[in-house]
Amino acid sequence: MARTRTYLDWNATAPLSAVARAAMMTALELPGNASSVHNEGRAARSAIDRARRQVAALVGADPAHATFTSGATEAANHVLTPNFRMGKAPLVVSHLHVSAIEHPAVREGGRFGADQVSEIAVTSAGVLDLASLEEALKAHDRAEGLPMVAVMLVNNETGIVQPVVEAAKLTHAHGGLLICDVTQAVGRMPVDINLLDADFLFFSSHKIGGPKGVGALVSRGEVLMPAPLIRGGGQEKGHRSGTENFFSVVGFGAAAEAAATDVAERNEAIMALRDDLEREMRLAAPDVVIHGADVARVPNTTFFTLPGLKAETGQIAFDIEGISLSAGSACSSGKVGESYVLTAMGQDPKTGALRISLGPETTTEDIQRAAAAFGKIAARRKPADTAA
């Protein structure tokens, strides 16, 4: 049977991969609780330990420094807190600085009070303004506590790569902690917590072909750790209590191992498809604006504005044509609103933008269908709407 739908919303969630599905089916046969000491419990613990190694390897970390969570949102709320411990001694973080284009899970500030959170501007190109970050850090009062800076490696709407290494250098020069959301980066570019010089990073399983509802918070070490968000039975070394989401953790591990394999070759093919699509879009509508086209992006993302076409109208039009894509990020319970990312870039957010995101299973035929749909939708705009 011919396919009637084309899925181009991989940044929202990736379809469950075959390797993750197979790993989870095998895990379904293991009845034990990983905290039990009998044979069945040890088998479950062994499966979790393997998944932890697989997930840690994806970001160049020590498996002992990876904590499983219910996803990136929980991980963000875990690590974004004023309350840390350096060994057994309490350590206070007094202010959180977040880039203006962070995911809402970070922009909400976690466990910081509203008066303890401030935004750092980005340039018109959608890249963190390092000069603004340095000014904010210079103004920070160290007597009140340490500064914390949260900068994502790849923006979820635009796909633009952020200067995390440079931000980490500035942050550490002022005695602060650097937190990095790598959710949209893993599997799409090399990620290494040590090379990034990040103190903590986090990501979700379902962006790389694993199951939904599981993620990880990864640290550089275990001496400096945030106060637990969830307390109870002491699982995950006390960092995140509660019986592990066993089957999902195992699937996450399998997906992470697959995502770490042949990254360069896979992404080269995906970039070629994206470039073909953007070429066809420009031919069909020369006035199309592709945000971030002149700066570093991950190879799978196209975030574009078609003048005269509102984002919500465009999303519905593409859906009718059988194309699944997003109007911005899929993080607001299905709501389509003005893009705060466009606002931060100094763009008019009223028209909005649409996001096409590709994955390892995207085909040339998918790109041809999307280009054809784009051409039809662009042609239906009123002549006045397409004027420069």
Query: 207: domain range?
Result: 21-259
pLDDT of residue 350: 83
In the block, residue with structure tokens 């181009």: 8
331 is catalytic: yes
Residue where a domain terminates, one of 220, 237, 259 = 259
The one-digit pLDDT tens for each residue of the chain (388 residues) are 456 899 999 999 999 999 999 999 999 998 888 888 899 889 999 999 999 999 999 999 999 999 999 999 999 999 999 999 998 899 999 999 999 999 999 999 999 999 999 999 999 999 999 999 999 999 999 999 999 999 999 999 999 999 999 999 999 999 999 999 999 999 999 999 999 999 999 999 999 999 999 999 999 998 999 999 999 999 998 899 998 999 999 999 999 999 999 999 999 999 999 999 999 999 999 999 999 999 999 999 999 999 999 999 999 999 999 999 998 654 544 555 678 999 999 988 888 899 999 999 999 999 999 999 999 999 998 654 444 4
C-alpha–C-alpha distance, residues 155 and 329, integer Å:
10
Packing angle, helices 39-58 and 246-259, rounded to 10: 30
Mark whether 104 and 241 lie in a shared domain. Answer: yes
Q: How far from 311 is each of 55, 241, 276, 352, CA to CA, in Å? A: 35, 41, 22, 5
- Residues 241 and 284 reside in one and the same domain: no
Q: Mark out the alpha helices in 82-196 (DSSP H runs).
A: 104-107, 130-138, 164-173, 193-196
Please indicate, yes or no, whether residues 247 and 281 belong to a single structural domain of this protein: no
- 86 and 121 co-located in one domain: yes
Examine residue 368 and state whether it is found in any structural domain, yes or no: yes
State how far the Cα of 165 lies from the Cα of 148, in Å rounded to an integer.
Answer: 15
Provide the number of structural domains found in the chain: 2
CA–CA separation, 121 vs 19, rounded Å?
40
Name the H helices within 149-205. 164-173, 193-196
| Token pair recorded at residue 236 | 């995950």
Q: How far apart are CA 110 and CA 181, in angstroms?
A: 13
pLDDT at 2: 53
Q: Alpha carbon of 277 to those of 5, 68, 199, 270, 309: distances in Å? A: 17, 37, 37, 11, 19
Q: How far apart are CA 199 and CA 368, in angstroms?
A: 42
Q: Give per-residue burial for 355-372: e unless 16+ CB within 10 Å, then b.
A: bbbbbbebeeebbebbbe
Same domain assignment for residues 277 and 289: yes
Rounded Cα distance between 61 and 300, Å, is 25
Of 106, 109, 101, nearest in space to 129 by CA: 101
Distance CA 351, CA 4 (A): 29
* Structural domain includes residue 244: yes
Q: Write the DSSP string, 14-54.
A: PPPPHHHHHHHHHHTT----TT--SHHHHHHHHHHHHHHHH
Contact 266, 300 (CB under 8 A): no
Domain boundary among 221, 244, 259: 259
Residue 150 contacts residue 116 (beta carbons within 8 Å): no
Instruction: Print burial letters for 42-57: b (CB count within 10 Å at least 16), e (below 16).
Output: ebbbebbebbbbbbbb
Nearest to 121 by CA among 344, 347, 284: 344
Both 202 and 281 in a single domain?
no
CATH of the domain at 164: 3.40.640.10
Terminal alpha carbon distance of the chain: 43
- CA–CA dist 212, 205 (Å, integer): 6
pLDDT of res. 334: 52
The confidence score (pLDDT) of residue 126 equals 96
The pLDDT of residue 328: 63
pLDDT of residue 335: 54
Burial 81-93 (b: 16+ CB within 10 A, else e): bbebeeeeeebeb
Q: Quick check: helix, strand or coil at residue 342?
A: helix
The DSSP code for 350 is T
Distance from C-alpha of 325 to C-alpha of 211, rounded to nearest angstrom: 20
Q: Which of 259, 288, 309 is the last residue of a domain?
A: 259
Asked whether residue 385 is assigned to any structural domain, the reply reads no
Q: Among residues 43, 295, 331, 336, which one is catalytic?
A: 331
CA distance 243 to 235: 7
Here the CATH number for the domain that contains residue 375 is: 3.90.1150.10
